Amino acid sequence: MNILLETLKKYKVLGVVFVISLLFGVYALFFRSETPSEDILITTSPESSEVDAVSVDLIALLLSLKTIDIDTTLFSDDRFKSLTDFSVELVRQEVGRPNPFLPIGR
- So what's the pLDDT on residue 79? 94
Task: Give, in order, the Cα–Cα distances in Å from 67 to each of 33, 35, 61, 63.
Answer: 56, 53, 10, 7
Domain ranges for the chain:
1-30
**CA–CA gap between residue 56 and residue 62 (Å, rounded):** 10
Q: Alpha-carbon torsion 47, 53, 56, 62, what sign? A: negative
Contact call for residues 74 and 80 (beta carbons, < 8 A): yes
Residue spans of the chain under pLDDT 50: none
Q: Would you state the pLDDT for residue 80?
A: 92
Q: Give me the pLDDT at residue 53, please.
A: 82
- The predicted pLDDT at position 91 comes to 92
C-alpha distances in angstroms, 30 versus 19, 27, 33? 16, 5, 8
pLDDT of residue 41: 62
pLDDT computed for residue 18 by the predictor? 94
pLDDT of residue 23: 93
pLDDT value at position 2?
Answer: 73
pLDDT at site 39: 60
